[in-house]
Structure 1
Amino acid sequence: MWIVPEKEIAALMTREAAFDAVEKVFAAMASGEAYNFPVVREAIGHVDALYGFKGGFDRSGLTLGLKAGGYWPHNLETKGIINHQSTVFLFDPDTGRVHAMVGGNLLTALRTAAASSVSIKHLARPDAKVIGMIGAGHQATFQLRTALEHRDFEKIIGWNLHPEMLPNLEKVADEAGLPFEAVELPGMQEADVIISITSSFDWTLGADHVAPGTHLACMGTDTKGKQEVEPALLARATVFTDEVAQSISIGEAQHAVAEGLIAEGDVHQLGAVINGTHPGRTSDDEITLFDGTGVGLQDLACAAAVVEMAIEQGIAIEVDV
């Protein structure tokens, strides 16, 4: 078995490599070449933590495995480490033997950011110039940096429940040489693209906060009960997702479906747009929404690429199991 420690990931996986891996995975999922296993994600009744497993199999890439981990909300304040913790395990699909164990924290951040940017590439209007951020935590900076690498935005606006965190976004804006403005939620009407990345269980972004023609990437809802946007917003939008089954059960769409505002058939795979079997955006006034629930195949694709590079560079550690 090969081991690639967390400390080595930054030197191996780039934002661009993560973007390419995630885009290919979405396409493989939509064509039936790759599928995810049912997600296990539960509150463990200890330190308010959420823990679970996401896995899958990609026939085209022969990638099989799972990610184990979750969200420990008090880590940063009590332990000085990030709240999201995870490890990826890869298996040989021909024998079932364990192939690799890979640190999953940075990989999770990179693949989550890549997913929203893939949605922006395929669904946002070509003339989109203002990007809005809902949330200003650790993951929000990854989302924003990746988005700025794939579109020529001219301005960044941001809102966070705790305004004292907004300098995290302003720093990224300064690095990119772009103006940043803190706004109240109605001010999001100025945005052509909005990325929402919070851990909220009560919606904050309302349907009337979003202008016609906007593309939204809702990236924070991955558990039953979590919610970032008003359900009525999904009824106004054309809804896309990474995995339909997850979207309607643990993703942002769970609430709109429960209220009868949309049905399962109203949620489309982003991979179908990538493959050309769904037209995606059809007008400049259409609101498009990507419900990024986070699928195990994203983690596996990024981890497999990292293991290959780590072996080639002599960084991976080999152990007998």
Structure 2
Amino acid sequence: MPTSATPFSPPNPAEARLLLLDKHQVETLLTAEAVLPAVREAFLLHAAGEGRVFPLVREPLSTGGVFGIKSGDVQSQGLLGFKAAGFWPANRALGGEPHQATIMLIAPETGRPLCIIDGNAVTTMRTGAAGALGLMHLARQDSIRLTVFGSGVQAAIQVQFALACLPSLQQVSYVNTNRRRDEKFEARFAARCDIAPAADHNLAVSESDIVITATPGKAALFELDAVRPGTHLNCVGADTKGKRELPPDLLARAKVFVDDANQARQIGETQWHAETPVTELGDVLSGKSVFARADKDITVFDMTGLALQDLTVARMLYAQALQDQGRHAGIAWPW
């Protein structure tokens, strides 16, 4: 983490500046290769107790949107900040993205902001990277068939990371909300795999080694009996109270992994079965928990997103931007 000696947080408060990274700058700096180790670090910090996740804010608005704040710190690294984010479905009618996020890094010594970052691409990429870590450590490494529910931004990044981390994948079926062909979605992956819309969503699940759910999460997307032994599921859409994507009783049949146990019970799939035994993925990555997959295991990674993931990725972007300040806007921010 850049210290108070950086040009954007000088010793003289009157000379302080605030770095601003907009959507286009973030997308230029952000790569899958850089995001994956940053997200892995977030899981390891959480497992070691070095990274704190503060109480979650997630509240419905009268506008029809949902507003949330995820925040945390790593005291040993001088890392502190938050992401204000949520979901505004009416944005689609405006030609905009329903998911909106803004990240702020703060100097823990003074409380002054160091950097404000457009968080949309960060959220997309860090969630894709988290999904990849789940697949790498929980799914069968010889998996061939994948079914994804959704064909939007998050579904696409999940498939992108899945194809990158599991070379054995050959076939992708997708189910979107209107059950129609999405040629743009298919074109993104056609050179890497056979991809087509699923004619029957339950049949597609039953024939898949991996299932990814990345939808607004209003109700179960498929039937319980469609999930065959040996299947791994990455579940992304349930991130608010009342949302779900999995059928009732599936968690009881599965080995369940989460990013944060308390948060998953508040807003993830496990809110519906709070008594479900869970293992945090960070414990698997650190070796604190050992998972050896049996052939017939059904595994679920209930992903609700860690504040620490946003912060480790934001720190990486901040450090990169500081190396080339001439290309990134900053404004005077004296105090």
Both structures adopt the same fold (TM-score exceeding 0.5)? yes
Q: Once the 2 structures are TM-superposed, how far is the Cα of residue 94 of structure 1 from its aligned partner? A: 2.3
Contact 1:124 1:281 in 2 (8 A): no
Q: Once the 2 structures are TM-superposed, how far is the Cα of residue 318 of structure 1 from its aligned partner? A: 2.4
Contact 2:181 2:197 in 1 (8 A): no
Partner Cα separation in structure 2 for residue 296 and residue 143 of structure 1: 19
Distance 1:170-1:302 versus aligned 2 partners, 3 A rule:
same
**Cα deviations across residues 140-189 of structure 1 (Å, max 9, x unaligned)?**
1111111111111111112223112543442232142x111322222211
Q: Pick from 170, 175, 183: which aligns with 2:186?
A: 170
Q: Once the 2 structures are TM-superposed, how far is the Cα of residue 206 of structure 1 from its aligned partner? A: 2.7
* 1:312 partnered with 2:328: no
SS in 2 for 1:94: coil
Unaligned runs of 5+ in 1: none
Amino acid at match of 1:253: T
Q: Which residue of 1 aligns with 2:214?
A: 197
SS in 2 for 1:229: coil
SS in 1 for 2:129: helix
SS in 1 for 2:239: coil
Q: Which residue of 1 aligns with 2:72?
A: 56
SS in 1 for 2:85: strand
Amino acid at match of 1:45: S
Q: Pick from 124, 144, 147: which aligns with 1:109?
A: 124
Q: Which residue of 2 aligns with 1:149?
A: 164
SS in 2 for 1:54: strand
Q: How does 1:32-181 map to 2 (within 5 A)?
A: 32-46=49-63, 48-77=64-93, 79-152=94-167, 153-164=169-180, 166-176=182-192, 178-181=193-196
Tell which structure's C-alpha radius of gyration is larger: 2
SS in 2 for 1:100: strand
Please give the TM-score of this superposition, normalised by the length of structure 1.
0.93
**Cα deviations across residues 87-146 of structure 1 (Å, max 9, x unaligned)?**
100011222221110110111111111111110011111211112101112221111111
Q: Pick from 254, 257, 267: which aligns with 1:237?
A: 254
Contact 2:21 2:118 in 1 (8 A): yes
Unaligned runs of 5+ in 2: 1-17
Contact 1:225 1:250 in 2 (8 A): yes
Deviating above 4 A after TM superposition, structure 1's stretches of 4 or more consecutive aligned residues are none
* 1:289 partnered with 2:300: yes
What is the percent sequence identity of the aligned residues? 35
Q: Which residue of 1 aligns with 2:7?
A: none
Contact 1:158 1:166 in 2 (8 A): no
Contact 2:52 2:72 in 1 (8 A): yes
Q: Once the 2 structures are TM-superposed, how far is the Cα of residue 306 of structure 1 from its aligned partner? A: 0.6
Q: Which residue of 2 aligns with 1:31?
A: 48
Contact 1:22 1:115 in 2 (8 A): yes
Partner Cα separation in structure 2 for residue 210 and residue 313 of structure 1: 50
Amino acid at match of 1:225: G
Distance 1:281-1:232 versus aligned 2 partners, 3 A rule:
farther
Please give the TM-score of this superposition, normalised by the length of structure 2.
0.89
| Alignment size in residue pairs | 312
Partner Cα separation in structure 1 for residue 162 and residue 47 of structure 2: 23
Partner Cα separation in structure 2 for residue 190 and residue 150 of structure 1: 20
Please identify, of 201-210 and 241-250, the stretch whose mean Cα deviation from structure 2 is larger: 201-210
